[in-house]
Chain A
């Protein structure tokens, strides 16, 4: 069997692993069975291992970091989300967050399966501009930054759910199992505190790379502009939180909005707008 076929198998194992993890974590919400959370975690770890294998295999095949087209970047983006989530789950014992974070990773891969043509996934000759170490830094910071912001999005949704339950079913079993609102709010903030500097680094390394490759550090390309807009949303979140004490519901909505902007920057711009980032 060729390495390309192994890579495809690894990809579909990742896809299946993330799907099973997502479904199991969602089932864990109403059915408070610890084995479900454990199974979801193992499925996510299996998916992550397969995801790592798919990335490594692609690197072995193309002899470069797998960061040259949308498919390769989705593969690393999903890896970033699940990796950050598993670390956070382990650190803060937040298994209920899986129901809201794993869908981001799964639907990204589903986008590859259902919407990306075969041509977009094949290994083609890459533009000379993409042969730069700055691109590697750019994408790694994006991967970890977007991963953290995806987790903050999941926690934001969890916060909004908990808040609704507090009003409608305060005595409910699910409400009792969810962490305190204050704790969720603080965890969401912590994730943004991690993701925001990484997003900043992502924009800066992109600017350095663009300056080396094209002689311009900023060209108002839609992808650049949307990454700036995303940055501004999180900057507003931080200003509002630190200066006006915007916490709780408003912060949660801003973290949801911020991650929607991340997704639009990542996928929407490529398919809906015209610009320079035709490769990823």
Chain B
């Protein structure tokens, strides 16, 4: 049993499985870009064979098997991270042991400087190590000098942090899905409505707020090019204004973790009708982007097209029944005119109105996403630019002319060779001195 558990564990933590899962993840992701997705091309999805929809290919990124794949990838990441931690800590804490000249010469990357005197080598060596930010230790025993120098130890955490950052990113996504919500609404200036009336794609709105659109405007710059769309939005609770702000694209309104984003903007037509003796305003967007249900009926009004000329509006409207595929009534209205709807009453076209389209979102996972992103970049920098490396040096013999150097690096043999070549050059000609406040650095001491 123990052996089986160990085998399963070794299988899960295997890098091969991780790479295989990454390839699988990439392949599925590509499939989702080739097969039309419901979120981007619903019309193309409808034209496909329904089998694609049943298999979940047309909503691939939210399908069960895609989530399962992410889960397995996550398990691999977690197990790799756990497995790696003790080893990483051990390497991080490890202090290099001294090596004899013979041992140094056995290293795949080593070099001997034989034409320099000790009086020259030692100061140049120490200066070069200091200039390159090495931590070093030298040990003098009679005729022998041994030493080691190392740097970039923090780099051992790079890979660990990168893997950890992915777990945080996935956690952020899960938190957002579980405890957040997202919705979209289009409304006209002057309208007031409860927040929980907004249709949301996922999650549930808990906030007991009312929204008021004070104004919706579109601004143009001096060249006549669109500058931005602006919505003056108030958040109310029991008639009291909690927050008011003009939001625009790239400048969202954030209140108590709920964010309102300006998404789009459009022209609309404002109507009024009378229901139970009360005047009711409603607004329609063109191309039937929204509808209004006439109070107490199963009739719906839509605006097929809207034209505004010299500030006056004309609307081609249609009346639809709940189960009628064709319009029950259609006609054209100019500003100020009314249309009589059988079995209901009149609707009156008041004038043009500005529509604002907003996205509302609450995503408590976003801070985790930014944390994960920052850690990812930090981890990559550590992994690539703080490669742990170690240099050993040894001087033996009575004459003590020359020195043997050897190097190892997490960047591989090429990295070790590059490091050693650089160091040898500095020892032979002395490191470039820094100029601080116009004075040349004194590294002899």
B370 within 8 A of A: yes
- Tell me if A217 and B369 are in contact (CB < 8 A): yes
A120 within 8 A of B: no
- List 18 A–B pairs whose Cβ atoms lie within 8 Å, in order of A's numbering: A128-B227, A131-B250, A182-B414, A200-B376, A204-B377, A211-B366, A216-B182, A216-B361, A220-B37, A221-B40, A225-B30, A232-B22, A232-B25, A233-B26, A236-B22, A239-B15, A274-B44, A275-B33
Q: Which of B40, B250, B373 has the most CB of A within 10 A?
A: B250
CB distance from B378 to the nearest CB of A (A): 10
A122 within 8 A of B: no
How many A-B pairs with Cβ below 8 Å? 107
Which residue of chain A has the shortest Cβ distance to B414 in the bound complex? Answer: A186
B97 within 8 A of A: no
**0/1 interface trace, chain A 213-236, chain B, CB 8 Å (1 if under):** 111111111100110110011011
Within 8 A of A (CB), among B19-38: 19, 22-23, 25-26, 29-30, 32-34, 36-37
A227 to B173, CA, bound (A): 19
A244 to B414, CA, bound (A): 16
Q: CB within 8 A of A273: which of B34, B173, B182, B250?
A: B34
User: How many residues on the B side are at the interface (Cβ–Cβ under 8 A)?
Assistant: 48
- Known interface pairs A201-B377, A212-B252, A274-B40; 4 further A-B residue pairs with C-beta atoms within 8 A, sorted by A's residue number: A213-B250, A217-B369, A232-B22, A232-B26
- Tell me if A219 and B39 are in contact (CB < 8 A): yes
If the complex has contacts A131-B228, A233-B26, A239-B19, are A220 and B61 also in contact, measured as CB distance less than 8 A? yes
Within 8 A of B (CB), among A127-167: 127-129, 131-132
Which residue of chain B has the shortest Cβ distance to A241 in the bound complex? Answer: B412
A220 to B251, CA, bound (A): 23
- Tell me if B18 and A274 are in contact (CB < 8 A): no
A259 within 8 A of B: no
A240 within 8 A of B: yes
A101 within 8 A of B: no
B259 within 8 A of A: yes
CB distance from A145 to the nearest CB of B (A): 12
A78 within 8 A of B: no
Residues of chain A within 8 A of B34, CB atoms compared: 273
- Tell me if B33 and A214 are in contact (CB < 8 A): no
A249 within 8 A of B: no
B384 within 8 A of A: yes
A225 to B34, CA, bound (A): 11
A226 to B61, CA, bound (A): 14
CB distance from B48 to the nearest CB of A (A): 13
A226 to B19, CA, bound (A): 18
Q: CB within 8 A of A275: which of B40, B366, B380?
A: B40
